[in-house]
Structure formats: structure tokens, C-alpha cells
Structure 1
């Protein structure tokens, strides 16, 4: 299975929607939130139907567990609170397994197995993002895990987290962070995926800016790395920067998961004009080592320099190769 990781607002949902159009790929959204937002809160699937009314998720639940139930969700959420936490990553990296971890990962593997069978696909796509869940899944003997690590200029990420955005599922506001807090999460999450790669995990890095600069080229290279050599024609890309999206049965994620039809693939650089200068300086001051490692200039240039370098870098490879 393919796990899309990275800090939220980095383009992970966009990448999932694009990869989800590839034949054989089964996109599920953020499965980490399935239990609370889907089973318990009955928030809508990406198809627009309430979770329990979606024919896809009904069949997945029946095949995986004999049906969804609040009791099942409560058990998985209890294990998540105990095990799936960023502070446990160092212990997981040392292969220290806590009680209940196998049961927790087994719940996910059953969802993945059932989804592939119901959709008649070949690989499942989970865009849960969280590095802690990726580390948990890496301990499972039945999950063949490949992580696609998505990074984006931290100034753009901080600006996005500082915006006020409503969730279409319930009208509530999405979580909003101050720039310094976004910096902490950006550093921790990216370092965690670097650690997973150094521990031998299969990690492929993709930059948001490179994906939007050349969607066809970046996706083609990524799919080759993931073993989808026959999907390089990418018929859903109508032109260089326009994608045609179909309905996806995603259980949680960015509001983009509800989008169908033509989607312009344009880079959001609104932070350059809208972000306060003091916030830009603060983010750059706190994150500059990783910014440079990922090929971002601390100076605010109009374009991120990447044309002469590859779009993708394997985890564990020298960071300069990702520029």
C-alpha cells in the first residue's frame, strides 16, 4: 500500500486525487480519521453520501469486520490515543513495540485489504499524513508499506494554516495555527519521515512546487518509482495543467476530496503577497536548515529553483538530490 505523508496543507490531498485517477489505485482519504469522522460522526464520503450510506464503505466494513460499529471505532480510537502519537516515534524507530500495536495496525490492514477487494484494485492509497501512523504501519508484517513524503515551502504551509477555512462536512472551522506552531510541526513531521527512511523504510519524496510545475513529468516519475510503469500516459491530465477528476470514496481530508470534473493545476503562492513580513522572516529563521536541504531558497524568489534537478528523491539519499 502507498501512504502519503507530510504536514497538512502541503498538497497531500491534491497528490492523492491525482494518483487516485490511475487505474488500479484505490484512494481512501485519511484513514486515520475514518473511525471518528466516518463511523462515529457519519461525515460524508468523498462521493457526497453519509458514511453509512456509501455503498463502497458499507461493503468494505462488511468484508473487513462484518460491519462498522461504534464499539469497533471506540477500540481503535483508544489504541490510537495510546500508540499513534508523535512522541512514540523514537521508540518505534528502535523497534520497541508497545502492547496493542499489532491489533491497531491489523485494523488498518483489514480496511486496506477489503478496499482493494471491493474496488478490484491493485494498490490502496492512504493519505493520513501522520508520520506516527506510518511508523506504526511499518511494524506490521502484513502491510507492504511505501511512503510518498510530500514537502512544501514552509512559508506557504504556515500561511495556509493561518487562514480561516470552513469544513464543508459540518461548517466548522478547520484547525488554525500560528506560524511558529506550524514551523514546529513542519520540522518534526519532516524529520520523522527522514528518520523512517534512514531506518530502511521505502520513502519517496515529492515537492509540491515540482508537482505543480510539471504535473505529467512529476507524476510519471513517481508512478515509475511506485511500479506503475504502464500508467505513464495519464489520460486524466487533459492538458499540461488541467486534470479531470472523477468521484472518489475518501473518508476524510481536505475539501478538495469532494471536487469532480476539471481541476486547474496551478501553484498557490498567495503567501508571497498576503503573508506578513514578520511571519515570513520567523518561518525562514526557524526552518532554514531543512529549507535548504529540500532545495528552497531562504531569500524570497519568484520561483523555486528545481528545473535542473530531479522531481523525486528516495528517502535516505543525500538531501541535495531533492533540489
Structure 2
């Protein structure tokens, strides 16, 4: 398998802004991505980033999901936009020799676009976390190291986070009803038994694992090698030991009023995913 990071951000942050790859090199200096660009487009300089952005505005927004999901055929713009991703995936598979490439983009609208790409065997892993934990995470101030500390990760209010949590999770459910293979796994479930979780997900991807494939995984940590994530969470730069722990700081740190707000907005889906509606604060 080959993890590419959040490819949805590749066009601006990497091709145009030349931010750092997960391996530490600038995108333009990373041998892996240079080879991918050569194979996919005969060089990244041949990618019309402005065109990609225009297509994204036209077809890959959350507001477009109802149209994408209900359409019986794809528009020329949808197919053209999906083709940029198809070329990157195919080139990455060729360069890496991997059977499966993993795009960890979180945009549900992109998944709805990609279902129209006939040359992609699309399988979606739908990772769900308690909406209150997600809301707390989006309030934190986190620097983006790939921009040399000059920029920060996006931040949202708990109310906006709750609305986005509902919209994106519902969109992945709709994708499954449109015939796309979708496998849901809860964040909390995965942290409880990462080894079993990876085995199930690899099987879903069509790549059965052998015991030695998981030698990097220990009960409380994972030993990570350098990767080539184009964009994503700052932890993509982690090399070596990565602790595996259930982050439940939100139970103590998210104010009770905000916790109740998110719980009320997301209540039906929290219940559907097996989360408790009422969570008592551990704050004295």
C-alpha cells in the first residue's frame, strides 16, 4: 500500500506553494513526487492548477453532493476533475509498486466525484469519531509545520463543527447507498485494537496481511518510517515511535455548554453510531 496524504490539497499546497512532503523535502525536491508528476502529466509544470480550482468550485463542494448523488450520469466537468485524481493514483501505484493507494482526503464531496471515475476501484474507509471530540479538536490552535510555522490549521467553532460532522458523515452514508463499498470504523474502536482494525481494513481493500506486515505495530505505539504524504495532519512528519492512545481530553476540556450543543445537534447520528448522548464532565 502507498499512503499519499490528503491529495485534495496537493494542487495548491504542493504543486503551487511547494510545501514540504511528509518525507521532509520540498514537494519540488521529493524524488517520489517528481516521478509521479512525470508519469501522470509529463511533469507538474503541465498541470493547470487554476483549471483544477475552477473544476473544484463547480463540482466538489458539500452543497453539490445532492446533485452528485442523484445524477444518473456524470457531467463533463465531473469526469474531467476526477481524471486529475485518477492520473495521480495510477502514477503513484506505478512509481511505488503498490497494489493500493490511499488518499486520506476528508472531503465527502470528492468521494462522490470519484465514484464516476471508471478507472478507479473506489473503496471508502469511513472513520467516525465522537462529534464532541471532533469539535474540541477543531478549536485547538495547531501550527502547520509544512509552512515553516507561518500558518495554522483551520479552526471551527463547536457549532460549525457539529453541522459539518452531520453533513460529511451523512454524505458517506449516502455514498454507500449509491453502491460504493464503504467500511465504517470508529476512532475509539480502532484505538482499542489497532491490529485487528488494520487486518479488517486491509481485507476490505483486497490486500490480505501477513503477520510480519504488522511488525511495526506494538500494543501502545507504532514504529513509523518516512512517508510521502502530500498534505494532512502535522503528525504525518512523525518518524519513529508514535504513541497510540485514546484522546479523550474533550471530556474534561470542552465546556459543558458546548458539549451539550454539539450533542443536541448531532444526537441522532451519535446514537446511530453507538455513542452516548449524555457524557458527564470529569471537571470538578
**What is the TM-score when the length of structure 1 is the normalising length?**
0.83
SS at match of 2:44: coil
SS at match of 2:104: strand
* Inter-partner Cα distance in structure 2 for 1:226 and 1:144: 10
Partner of 1:161: 138
Give distance in 1, aligned partners of 2:136 and 2:209: 38
Shift of 1:82: 1.2
Partner residue, 2:34: 58
Q: 1:126 aligns with which of 103, 116, 123?
A: 103
Match of 1:105 among 73, 82, 86: 82
Aligned to 1:292: 271
Deviation track 1:2-59 (CA, whole Å, cap 9, x = no partner) reads: xxxxxxxxxxxxxxxxxxxxxxx01100111000000000000000100000000000
1:224 to 165, 185, 203: 203
Residue 235 of structure 1 is aligned with which of 215, 220, 227?
A: 215
Partner secondary structure for residue 285 of structure 1: helix
> Secondary structure of 2:22's match?
coil
Contact 1:45 1:54 in 2 (8 A): yes
The 8 Å contact of residues 163 and 176 in structure 1, kept in 2 or not, is answered as yes
Could you say which residue in structure 2 is the equivalent of 1:316?
A: none
Moved over 6 A (4+): none
- Whether the 8 Å contact between 1:28 and 1:124 is mirrored in structure 2 is yes
Q: Give the TM-score, by structure 2 length.
A: 0.94
What is the DSSP-based 3-state SS (H/G/I as helix, E as strand, rest coil) of the residue aligned with 1:230? coil
Which residue in 1 is equivalent to 2:70?
94
Cα gap change, 1:110 to 1:70, in 2 (>3 Å): closer
Q: Which residue among 262, 266, 281 is the counterpart of 2:245?
A: 266
Instruction: Indicate the residue corresponding to 2:174 in structure 1.
Output: 195
Counterpart CA distance in 2 for 1:228 and 1:241 is: 24
User: Cα RMSD between the aligned structures?
Assistant: 1.4
Q: Deviations over 1:63-96 (max 9, x none)?
A: 1000002752222122111111111111111125
**Secondary structure of 1:48's aligned partner:** coil
User: Which structure shows the higher helix fraction?
Assistant: 2
The count of aligned residue pairs is: 277
- Equivalent residue of 1:69, what SS? helix
- Structure 1 residues without counterparts, runs of 5 or longer: 1-24, 303-323
